[in-house]
Amino acid sequence: MPTFHLVDAFTDAAFAGNPAGVVLLAAGPVDGLWAQRVAAEVGASETAFLVPAPARDDAAARRTAGPRWQLRWWTPGTEVELCGHATLAAAHVLRGRGLLDVGATVTFDTRSGTLHARCATDGRIWLDLPAWPVADHTAPSDVAGLLGGVAGRYLGRTRVDQANDVVEVADTAALDAVEVDRDRVATLGGAGLIVCCDGAGSDAAMRYFAPAVGVDEDPVTGSAACTVAPLWAERRNRREVTIEQRSARGGWLWTRAGGVGEEGREHGVAADRVLVGGHAVTTITGEVLGPCGLA
């Protein structure tokens, strides 16, 4: 039977951060209909499905040391292009099962290309993710109405398939007061809405809403950091940016956007990438007993 883990990501304490399901399969490919049913049963904002990647003998594979896995993500309603917190959870599960050593890097083959996760000695896991910068886009009408009466400035939309609209509010008090019109957010045309501002005790703060893909409000969102980190790195004129996600559960993300990591020059970040770091805690383990539909 496939093993199952429920992991709280971007937190070092149980029952905080963002819960993600992680299903570890012995072989693939993953049957999409079965995976969707499992994700709906789990009910977390995303469930990750891991399969050992087939052995490769090419130049790209030889440049990549360490284990390699195929990774896909489903919300309760659909498969998504990228999920940061479930990727963090997946790496955490591999580490916990002795399949990823501290200091080592795992490679994930995904719909968003090749991703990497590295286990640092301080317990954090660092994800190497694509940057999703904001581009100009027609603003929705009545931004304040979209946010439940909170004034906001529309910054644009990310130019990726899993596009997000981005709105900035005045401060964390305004951010906490946001009560989005979920029906309107679901019809904006993108995957979700990032609402962000300067942080209080962090460089930036954010919340993320994605009712169009079955997630009313995501507790902590690694993929949203792929947008917020480059924005605030430019504003702060430095590469390292801390982000607090001010959801009910809350969580913290450490990021490095297109610069050199503080742990050494060998961890430099390409201009079109973002390193997103955080902790994770496993809360539940077991097996998926429902019929496993492998194609």
pLDDT in tens, the chain (295 residues): 899 999 999 999 999 999 999 999 999 899 999 999 999 999 999 999 999 998 766 555 555 567 999 999 999 999 999 999 999 999 999 999 999 999 999 999 999 999 999 999 999 999 999 999 999 999 999 999 999 999 999 999 999 989 999 999 999 999 999 999 999 999 999 999 999 999 999 999 999 999 998 899 999 999 999 999 999 999 999 999 999 999 999 999 999 998 544 443 344 688 899 999 999 999 999 999 988 754 4
d(CA 47, CA 75): 6
**Two tokens at 155?**
């910054």
Per the CB < 8 A criterion, the answer to whether 160 and 132 are in contact is: yes
Residue 258's pLDDT is: 83
pTM value is 0.88
With CA atoms as reference, report the closest residue to 251 among 195, 206, 192, 200. Answer: 206
Structural domains of the chain sorted by starting position, each given as residue range(s) with its CATH number in brackets: 3-124+280-287 (3.10.310.10), 134-254 (3.10.310.10)
- Give catalytic status of residue 240 as yes or no: no
Residue 259's pLDDT is: 53
Tens digit of each residue's pLDDT (9 = 90 or more) over 28-69: 899 999 999 999 999 999 999 999 998 766 555 555 567 999
d(CA 69, CA 51): 6
Strand 192-198, strand 164-168: pairing: parallel
d(CA 87, CA 106): 11
Active-site annotation holder among 46, 79, 168, 217:
46
Q: What's the first-to-final CA gap in the chain, in angstroms?
A: 15
